[in-house]
Amino acid sequence: CKLVVLLSGSGSNLQAFIDACKNKQLPNTEICAVISNKADAFGLVRAQQAGITTACIDHKQFGSREDFDAALQAKIDEFDADLVVLAGFMRILTPGFVRHYLGRLINIHPSLLPKYPGLHTHQRAIDAGDKEAGATVHFVTEELDGGPPIIQAKIPIFDGDDAATLADRVLSKEHTIYPLAAQWFAEGRLSLRNSKAVLDDKNL
Ligand code: GRF
């Protein structure tokens, strides 16, 4: 299974994928390329240290989202990706791009979707007085953070939590569930059918 990972920042989720490939949790899986829209993303350093091909496509060099996404798509398709993994990729993707990869484009979002799509999820959960928070891996559809969920991890919110402590604890759960979702995909057990995520012929 050939993965291409898109990111904009630290790349701790990318690191979880690199580690999962190394320790054979992801058998027959190769991270073919890591592509960032930001030249200074630490995720690019992580990729280079692991010997993975990197590319940077700066969205500021393009006049429209469509032009940026077309360049991004052309670059991804050079690698013949089976699965495109959004790992902290901070760009909203155009409908044409999403359609091109439908069923082979996944994202991780740091909330218990459908709660809190968009930004500042941890602060919003704390402000709402929620007792739990978490992360969701989902197939990407045209609706922002609205695609069919694949797996969620939940953690309790403690009294003393702020957005930073909560983000840390959620992130460490992300590192478990995201490679697991990719493992299911690589094993041919996970697909998008009739707008639902399906694992082993069961709707998730
Ligand atoms: C994570 O919180 C993820 O849920 C969100 O972006 C962040 C990426 O973190 N989509 P990292 O770059 O993988 O460390």
Q: Is the CB of 110 under 6 A from ligand 1?
A: yes
Nearest Cα neighbor of 100 from 145, 159, 140 is 140
Given the structure tokens 């060099």, which residue do they identify?
Answer: 61
**Is the CB of 12 inside a 6 Å radius of any atom of ligand 1?**
yes
- Regarding whether 203 and 121 lie in a shared domain, the answer is yes
**Is 90 annotated as contributing to ligand binding?**
yes
Q: Say whether both 173 and 86 belong to one domain.
A: no
pLDDT number for residue 130: 98
Point out the domain boundary residue: 84, 101, 118: 101
* Same domain, yes or no: 117 and 84: no
Q: Are 134 and 111 in contact (CB under 8 A)?
A: yes
Residue 91 annotated in ligand binding: yes
Q: CATH number of the domain that 113 lies in? A: 3.40.50.170
CA 195 to chain CA centroid, nearest Å: 18
Same domain, 95 and 112: no
Give the Å distance between the CA of 13 and the centre of ligand 1. 6
Instruction: Choose one of 79, 101, 123: the last residue of a domain.
Output: 101
User: Residue 106: what pLDDT?
Assistant: 98
Q: What is the pLDDT along the chain (204 residues), one digit of tens a residue?
A: 999 999 999 999 999 999 999 999 998 999 999 999 999 999 999 999 999 999 999 999 999 999 999 999 999 999 999 999 999 999 999 999 999 999 999 999 999 999 999 999 999 999 999 999 999 999 999 999 999 999 999 999 999 999 999 999 999 999 999 999 999 999 999 999 999 999 999 999
Phi, psi of 161 (to 5 degrees): -65, 140
ipTM computed for the complex: 0.98
Specify whether 196 is located in the same domain as 127.
yes
Its domain, for residue 60, covers: 1-101
On whether both 97 and 115 belong to a single domain, the answer is no
Q: Please tell me the residue having the least CA distance from ligand 1 atom 7.
A: 88
Q: Is 92 annotated as a binding residue?
A: yes
**Number of domain units in the chain:** 2
What separation in Å is there between the alpha carbon of 188 and the centre of ligand 1? 25
Instruction: Tell whether 171 and 112 lie within a shared domain.
Output: yes
Q: Specify whether the CB–CB gap between 195 and 141 falls below 8 A.
A: yes
Same-domain status, 69 and 84: yes
Judge if 60 and 123 occupy the same domain: no
pTM, rounded to two decimals: 0.97
Are residues 25 and 118 located together in one domain of the fold? no
